């Protein structure tokens, strides 16, 4: 209750959602950005695996734009002057953007009630008391103190979010807050608890559906379930799906060049692969690397002989979403009929499982 009171204090500004405004198909956006001159602004957002882009030229830093939005959405703004971006939560209310192109990442927006609501929620998290403990030089004590601090902070954040969800269950900003706290940093129990409090419309929204996909993954990836299909491309742009490997035991290995545990596990995978590759077993590497160069360099360095596919969207991509993979490493062993028979096999566990299955 203590932190819910902090939450209520921060959220003193009343936010009202006008249904007739959300019946519109476009958001009217005006802007006055110093230093933009006659350069261009690009708006982009992603929804259901499709990226939408639109742009508008400025006239001495000023422009007006009607941007088609199916619902309130996190939109990335970029410009043709520098490499800076600004992410804003745009809704169907008329909005005004102001600021300076030299500090594009600090652009201000007024009028978007969803953006204002999400900003206030983030401010309430930042207002939580508590300071990270200073290092004393005693490694064990410092580690324990940090863990205690992190646990207390998380309890406070949980309380703030709980109050937020109960006050604003009908807002997309709320679904985004739940996603950011309990899907990006996975906590299924908390995600379920807060998802149930969202209004039916928000549960059906894009961000609501993403939370639901994360929750469903626990059932979708349970041992005995039929493995979900996916489609990803190799380095040559050729797409493969799980159907391509029907009739074999296949290990779906989610990994990345930057994942130290993944790289340390590769020798174990290579050993199992060499032993069973001619006996109806293969591995498919699902790289979560945003950088193709880093991905392919790691494949070469670790001398991985099996098929490698890549999703540059990393753990926010379609395959990772479907399989509920929000941290690496992760793997799923699928049998010739397409059923998941084991998951997260590490060390010699893969070899032992294959010995049990392949006689």
- Give the least confident one: 7-11, 233-237, 270-274: 7-11
Is the peptide bond preceding residue 230 cis, with omega within 30 degrees of 0?
no
CATH number of 17-114: 2.60.40
Average pLDDT over the chain reads 91
Rounded to whole angstroms, the Cα distance separating 357 from 359 reads 6
Domain limits, the chain:
17-114, 128-220, 231-357
How does residue 16 score in pLDDT terms, banded at 50, 70 and 90?
A: very low
The 3-state DSSP class for residue 67 equals strand
pTM for this model (two decimals): 0.80
How does residue 102 score in pLDDT terms, banded at 50, 70 and 90?
A: very high
User: What's the confidence (pLDDT) of residue 315?
Assistant: 82
Average pLDDT of the segment spanning 36-53: 93
> Is the pLDDT assigned to residue 142 strictly greater than 70?
yes
Rounded to whole angstroms, the Cα distance separating 93 from 72 reads 10
The share of the chain scoring above pLDDT 90, in percent, equals 80
pLDDT tens for residues 25-38?
789 999 999 999 99
Say if domain 231-357 classifies as CATH 3.50.50.60: no
Rg, Å, the chain Cα set: 24
Q: 70 phi and psi, to 5 degrees?
A: -70, -25
pLDDT tens for residues 281-309?
999 999 999 999 999 999 999 999 999 99
Rounded to whole angstroms, the Cα distance separating 111 from 196 reads 29
Q: Which of 57, 62, 74, 70 is nearest to 26 (CA)?
A: 70
> Is the pLDDT assigned to residue 175 strictly greater than 90?
yes
The Cα-based distances of 169 to 118, 174, 203, 278 in angstroms read 13, 7, 9, 54
The 3-state DSSP class for residue 57 equals strand
Q: Which residue has the tokens 């209004």?
A: 199
Cβ(250)–Cβ(309) below 8 Å: no
Tokens of 316: 């926010």
pLDDT tens for residues 195-215?
999 999 999 999 999 999 999
CA 69 to chain centre: 21
How does residue 21 score in pLDDT terms, banded at 50, 70 and 90?
A: very low
Number of Cβ within a 10 Å radius of residue 95: 22
How does residue 162 score in pLDDT terms, banded at 50, 70 and 90?
A: very high
Tokens of 265: 């596990």
The 3-state DSSP class for residue 78 equals strand
Rounded to whole angstroms, the Cα distance separating 336 from 83 reads 48
Burial label for 264, CB within 10 Å (0-12, 13-18, 19+), is: exposed
In this structure, the strands spanning 50-57 and 85-90 are unpaired
How does residue 312 score in pLDDT terms, banded at 50, 70 and 90?
A: confident
Cβ(238)–Cβ(273) below 8 Å: no
Q: Which H/E stretch holds residue 294?
A: helix 292-302
User: What's the confidence (pLDDT) of residue 326?
Assistant: 87
CA 312 to chain centre: 12
């Amino acid at each position: 209750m203590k932190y819910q009171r902090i939450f209520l204090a921060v959220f003193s500004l009343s936010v009202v959602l006008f249904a007739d405004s959300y019946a519109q198909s476009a958001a009217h956006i005006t802007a006055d950005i110093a230093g933009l001159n006659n350069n261009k602004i690009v708006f982009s957002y992603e929804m259901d695996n499709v990226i939408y882009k639109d742009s508008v030229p400025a006239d001495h830093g000023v422009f007006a734009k009607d941007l088609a939005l199916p619902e309130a959405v996190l939109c990335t703004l970029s410009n043709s002057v520098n490499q800076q971006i600004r992410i804003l939560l745009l809704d169907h209310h008329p909005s005004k953007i102001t600021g300076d192109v030299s500090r594009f990442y600090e652009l201000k927006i007024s009028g978007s009630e969803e953006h204002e609501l999400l900003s206030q929620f983030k401010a309430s998290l930042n207002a939580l008391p508590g300071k990270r403990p200073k290092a004393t030089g005693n490694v064990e004590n410092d580690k324990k103190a940090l863990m205690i601090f992190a646990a207390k902070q998380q309890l406070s954040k949980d309380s703030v979010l709980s109050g937020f969800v109960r006050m604003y269950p009908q807002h997309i900003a709320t679904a985004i807050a739940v996603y950011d706290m309990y899907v990006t940093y996975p906590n299924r129990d908390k995600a379920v608890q807060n998802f149930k409090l969202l209004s039916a419309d928000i549960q059906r929204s894009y961000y609501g559906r993403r939370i639901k996909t994360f929750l469903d993954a626990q059932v979708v990836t349970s041992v005995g379930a039929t493995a979900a299909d996916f489609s990803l491309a190799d380095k040559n742009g050729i797409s493969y799906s799980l159907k391509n490997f029907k009739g074999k035991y296949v290990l779906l290995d989610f990994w990345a060049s930057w994942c130290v545990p993944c790289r340390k596990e590769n020798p174990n995978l290579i050993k199992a692969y060499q032993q069973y590759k001619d006996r109806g077993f293969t591995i498919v590497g699902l790289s979560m690397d945003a950088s193709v160069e880093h991905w392919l360099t790691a494949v070469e360095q670790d001398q991985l002989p099996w098929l490698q596919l890549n999703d540059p969207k990393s753990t926010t991509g379609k395959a990772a979403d479907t399989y509920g993979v929000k941290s690496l490493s992760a793997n799923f062993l699928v049998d010739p009929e397409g059923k998941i028979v084991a998951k997260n096999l590490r060390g010699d566990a893969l070899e032992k499982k294959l010995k049990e299955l392949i006689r």
